[in-house]
Amino acid sequence: MSDSGPDTLDGRELDVAIIGAGVGGLYALQRVRDQLGMNALAIDDAPALGGTWFWNKYPGCRVDTESSVYAYSFDKDLFVDWEWSERYALQPEVLAYLNAVADKHDLKRSIVFETRITEATWNEDKSRWALTTAAGDTFHARYLIEGVGLLSSSYAPEFPGRGDFRGEVLLASKWPDNPPDLAGKRVGVVGTGSTGIQIITALAETVGHLYVFQRTPQWCVPLGVGPFPDATRRRMREDPEGFRDWALNTGAVFGFVESTVSALDVSHEERQRVYEAAWQKGNGFAFMLETFSDIVVSPEANQTATDFIKGKIHSIVNDPGTAELLTPKDYYAKRPLAADGYYETFNRDNVTLVDVKSAPIERFSRAGLVTATGEYALDTLILATGFDAITGNYLRIETTGRGGLRLQDKWKEGPRARCGMTIADFPNLFMVFGPFSPFTSQPLVHEWQIDWFTTLVQEAEARGGVVDTEQSAEDAWVATCQEQMAGTLFAVTDSWINGSNIPGKPRASMAYMGGMAGYMAEMNAIAEAGYRGFRFG
């Protein structure tokens, strides 16, 4: 347990318990403890704060949201004075920023580290949550905020024979504090999602040989790494609220305005011009959403984008066979990937692309990894195999709501929740960016959600101390989200967005696809109608 947090949790009675001390948990703590004056603690199983930015220390780890919107706005001074060095901050800089926020607001004294919450049970008679830690401590809180992370529950496939392997296996999402020196080594990377492509492009120059074990090729565009733009800094300083409101009122809160022009309403030449400009500018979300309005909803529009990227892959990658292997066959409709020089990496003599779709990984050997067609000798294998996203960490906590209802049962066929924040029959429990939240960049949206549901907590305090969402309101929210998702190509493209990256996980809609502006309008309307669809008592 941290020496800055309280000594023991056992027997504590809190107003608010917060699980997680990442971007979400930290602001939730500041908000309820300092702005609302409640007795609150945050609990995290990590030895230090930062969540994602504590755990993911792998080479090349950085945000792919513009740094300008990867920040809190509640502290205006820090919002404008923090000197982001890069357009897309590297992990150490994000972690330093979060520590600066925590230090300035003296948050660490209210965080208990190295403590995992394993159970949460609603006590109807006492109107409070009973929480149990992995060490067996029990404590209580009238309100429970779960900031457990959208991409935090790591997933790693088990290849047989791990004990035989003489080399080292590293999990990207639990990167060690003292990693081995990979310079000159034979390194394998399994996984080519957002994390994999960052590692591959970061390591290719320094390792002896890099084996990229690819099951699914990815549409990847340049990120456009560079110094933090002066023009953005000026804009933020001149009008911080205006800048924050502008960002929040875009669809994806990624620091650009989405296009309203169909890809099919312009000439081929104009499309090429727009795509080329976006390719030069960088940012995956911008390529997907700032170029044209219908890439993620129309198969024909989508194909114009994939034809363009396919052309780039084949013009960049020298070996036609490798280029073909790197070319996806599905829609451009996953969380978009962006890294500078990704496809160029495969022209290097010390990089080998291994197709493990046609010849799957079978097992470890003493020397390395064995696929259906050969053995690859490795000193280090890096697993960049993703996350049990969105629902994973909620379901790892044995959570029981009203009438003995288990969350694990309620979500058996996929999550059910309202507004991305509340779950019917789980009163006084609030999720930060839970299932059915908007499909956006996170920190500013975390803040917005936390402000919204803690204002609801204030309302609950005035109306009996308990608030629960109505089942019918939850059903309606889920139906809206399902309908929105069904109108997109995300629904039919395998990815963590719909749960299809995890064997056995039910495929489900899990996001609100109406954009942040639409989301805020719906949330504000609920609040203005006296918290329509919520029961107090």
Nearer to ligand FAD, 145 or 207 (CB): 145
The one-letter amino acid at 206: T
Residue 159: closest CA among 372, 395, 392, 388: 372
How many residues touch ligand FAD (CB under 6 A)? 34
Q: Is 56 in the site for ligand FAD (CB under 6 A)?
A: yes
Nearer to ligand FAD, 322 or 422 (CB): 422
Q: Which residues pair with 437 in a beta bridge?
A: 511
Answer whether 23's CB lies under 8 Å from 51's CB.
Answer: yes
Residue 282: closest CA among 220, 240, 370, 344: 220
Contacts of 233 (CB under 8 A, 6+ apart): 68
Nearer to ligand FAD, 364 or 439 (CB): 439
Answer whether 215's CB lies under 8 Å from 359's CB.
Answer: no
Whole-angstrom Cα distance, residue 61 to residue 123?
Answer: 42
Q: Is 99 in the site for ligand FAD (CB under 6 A)?
A: no
CB of 254 to ligand FAD, least distance (A): 8
Nearer to ligand FAD, 57 or 416 (CB): 57
Nearer to ligand FAD, 45 or 290 (CB): 45
Whole-angstrom Cα distance, residue 435 to residue 530?
Answer: 24
Query: Cα–Cα distances in Å, from 309 out to 3, 218, 304, 305, 439?
Result: 51, 10, 9, 6, 23
Nearer to ligand FAD, 226 or 311 (CB): 226
Nearer to ligand FAD, 259 or 399 (CB): 399
Q: Is 149 in the site for ligand FAD (CB under 6 A)?
A: yes
Nearer to ligand FAD, 293 or 442 (CB): 442
- Judged by CB under 6 A, the residue of 148, 289, 317, 424 near ligand FAD is 148
Q: Is 438 in the site for ligand FAD (CB under 6 A)?
A: no
CB of 481 to ligand FAD, least distance (A): 19
Interaction residues for ligand FAD, span 172-201 (CB under 6 A): 195
Backbone phi and psi for residue 90, each to the nearest 5 degrees, phi listed first: -75, 160
Nearer to ligand FAD, 61 or 508 (CB): 61
Q: Is 44 in the site for ligand FAD (CB under 6 A)?
A: yes
Radius of gyration of the chain (CA): 23
Q: Which residues pair with 313 in a beta bridge?
A: none
Q: Is 24 in the site for ligand FAD (CB under 6 A)?
A: yes
Q: Is 441 in the site for ligand FAD (CB under 6 A)?
A: yes
**Region of 99-107, 337-345, 392-400, 498-506 interacting with ligand FAD (CB under 6 A):** 392-400
Q: Is 421 in the site for ligand FAD (CB under 6 A)?
A: no
Nearer to ligand FAD, 195 or 493 (CB): 195
Whole-angstrom Cα distance, residue 76 to residue 493?
Answer: 40
Nearer to ligand FAD, 64 or 355 (CB): 64
**Region of 135-143, 148-156, 212-220, 485-493 interacting with ligand FAD (CB under 6 A):** 148-156
Q: How far is CA 406 from the centre of its chain?
A: 25
**Given 3-state DSSP classes, what are the helix, strand and coil percentages for the chain, each rounded to the nearest 5?**
35, 20, 45
Answer whether 256's CB lies under 8 Å from 250's CB.
Answer: yes
Answer whether 247's CB lies under 8 Å from 69's CB.
Answer: yes
The torsion of the CA quartet 122, 394, 490, 422, rounded to 10 degrees, works out to 30
Answer whether 208's CB lies under 8 Å from 69's CB.
Answer: no
Residue 43: closest CA among 106, 131, 130: 131
Q: Is 151 in the site for ligand FAD (CB under 6 A)?
A: yes
Q: Is 393 in the site for ligand FAD (CB under 6 A)?
A: yes
For tokens 């982001």, name the residue: 84
- Judged by CB under 6 A, the residue of 5, 147, 222, 414 near ligand FAD is 147
Site mask for ligand FAD (CB under 6 A), range 67-86, x = bound: ---x----------------
**Region of 79-87, 149-157, 176-184, 287-295 interacting with ligand FAD (CB under 6 A):** 149-157
- Judged by CB under 6 A, the residue of 16, 107, 150, 423 near ligand FAD is 150
Query: Cα–Cα distances in Å, from 255 out to 5, 20, 52, 81, 504?
Result: 36, 26, 21, 18, 36
Give the footprint of ligand FAD on this chain (CB under 6 A): 19-20, 22-25, 43-46, 51-52, 56, 61, 63-65, 70, 116-117, 147-152, 195, 393, 396-397, 432-433, 441-442
